[in-house]
Structures are given as structure tokens and as C-alpha cells.
A and B are shown apart, each in its own frame.
Chain A
Amino acid sequence: NAGVTQTPKFRILKIGQSMTLQCTQDMNHNYMYWYRQDPGMGLKLIYYSVGAGITDKGEVPNGYNVSRSTTEDFPLRLELAAPSQTSVYFCASSRHHSYEQYFGPGTRLTVT
């Protein structure tokens, strides 16, 4: 099993550009999460999903959108990139919301 995979690994965007961060898991987990990690700030939850077709906002959803058309995939969309979105983004999945979360390797995004 590959676990949780994320693409791309690195990306530089100009202000106002859009992009989609891809996340796929092969563990048949119902729960999936998107976090951003800024230096000294820990992991902040952006969006989460409890199953295909169901998504909900986390602590810092502004400027992002998600979809969950399949159990495996949970892409994160940035519509109008801003410098404040410069961060490392992690996707995670779990079998249940109280169980261990499995993290992808992260996407390092810079907006200039």
C-alpha cells in the first residue's frame, strides 16, 4: 500500500493564480483532512470529509475549496492565491475521527 500520496511536492504560484493540490489514499478510509502547517503554528485544519460526497469546514477554510467525489481522492483547490497561503499543506486520512491519522508527505507552496 502507498498510504497517502500528495502531488505536487513543491509549487511556486504568482498572486491570483489558481491550483489544485491532489491527495489520494489507498486504505479505504472514510475520513480525510487537509491541514496547513506554518512555522511555529502547528497544524491548522482547513477542511475535512467524513465520506464521499460530504465535506465540512475546519478552522481556516477561507480561500480554499474541496470536493470528495470518491473515497480515495480529496483535492484541495486554491482559487486566487495570496501570499498568506504560503505554507506546507498536509493531507491525512483515518478510519474513524478518533483513530490514528495517516499523513501524506506534504506540498510546500510559495505564493509570490
Chain B
Amino acid sequence: TQLLEQSPQFLSIQEGENLTVYCNSSSVFSSLQWYRQEPGEGPVLLVTVVTGGEVKKLKRLTFQFGDARKDSSLHITAAQPGDTGLYLCAGEGGGADGLTFGKGTHLIIQP
């Protein structure tokens, strides 16, 4: 069974601060996806990283896939209250059952 560990589990910071959350595994993934989930809604895809060492930027969000394709990080610059939500990473291992999800990081950005 492939497991994804996300850290921290909870993070509350002030608006304008920078933060990094992590997604780690002992398994290699073909690709890794990051989703954001807001209260009362389903997760929505932010980005997919495929190549080891890959870095993708989405405005103030920077995603990196580890060289060995076992881990990933999400860095947010100058966090805003609109960034508040549950951030989930999900790894694709090649099976028809799709993605393995981490437990998520609950992020609260206080104004």
C-alpha cells in the first residue's frame, strides 16, 4: 500500500506570511497532484507534477516534485485569506484505482 504523509496537519498564519507544506512517501509515484478543498465542497485540482525535480508556479503558489518522485512541497508566498482551505496531495501509482490521497494540511490565513 502506497502512503502519503502530509505535514503539518494544521497551520494557522497571518496574512502576508510565507509557508511551505509537505507531502512525503517511501513509494515512487508516476505523478503527483495537489488539490484544494473548501468547506462544504469537493476537492479541486491545483496542479499536476510529473517529472522528478519539476517546479510549477501558479501565481503565488510554487509546487515542487522531488527528484526521486517520492515527495512534493507546496510553497505559498504572501498568503491571503482566500488561500484558506484543506490542501491534499494525491499520488498516481499506475493502478486503475487511481490516486492515493494524503490526509491533508488544514491551512488558515488570518487577516
Interface residues of chain A, those whose CB is within 8 Å of chain B, are: 4, 31, 33, 35, 40-43, 45, 48, 50, 56, 58, 90, 92, 94, 97-98, 100-101, 103-106
Given contacts A40-B9, A98-B30, A100-B48, are A45 and B97 in contact (CB under 8 A)?
yes
Chain B contact patch, size range: 20 to 34
Given contacts A42-B101, A42-B103, are A97 and B96 in contact (CB under 8 A)?
yes
- C-alpha spacing A106/B30, complex, angstroms: 28
Chain B residues with Cβ below 8 Å from A40 are: 9, 103
Q: Verify A106–B96 contact, CB threshold 8 A.
A: no
**A58 interface neighbour in B40, B42, B97, B103, Cβ under 8 Å:** B97
Chain A residues with Cβ below 8 Å from B92 are: 97-98
- C-alpha spacing A58/B44, complex, angstroms: 21
Q: List 30 A-B contacts (CB under 8 A).
A: A4-B42, A31-B98, A33-B98, A35-B101, A40-B103, A42-B102, A42-B103, A43-B101, A45-B97, A48-B96, A50-B96, A56-B96, A90-B42, A97-B92, A97-B95, A97-B97, A97-B98, A98-B31, A98-B94, A98-B98, A100-B45, A101-B90, A101-B98, A101-B99, A103-B43, A104-B42, A105-B40, A105-B41, A105-B42, A106-B40
The 10 closest A-B pairs by CB, nearest first: A103-B42, A42-B103, A43-B101, A100-B45, A98-B92, A97-B98, A42-B101, A97-B96, A103-B43, A90-B42
- C-alpha spacing A42/B87, complex, angstroms: 10
Known: A56-B96, A103-B42. 19 other contacts (CB 8 A): A4-B42, A31-B98, A33-B98, A43-B88, A58-B97, A90-B42, A94-B98, A97-B92, A97-B95, A97-B96, A97-B97, A100-B33, A100-B45, A101-B45, A101-B98, A104-B42, A105-B40, A105-B41, A105-B42
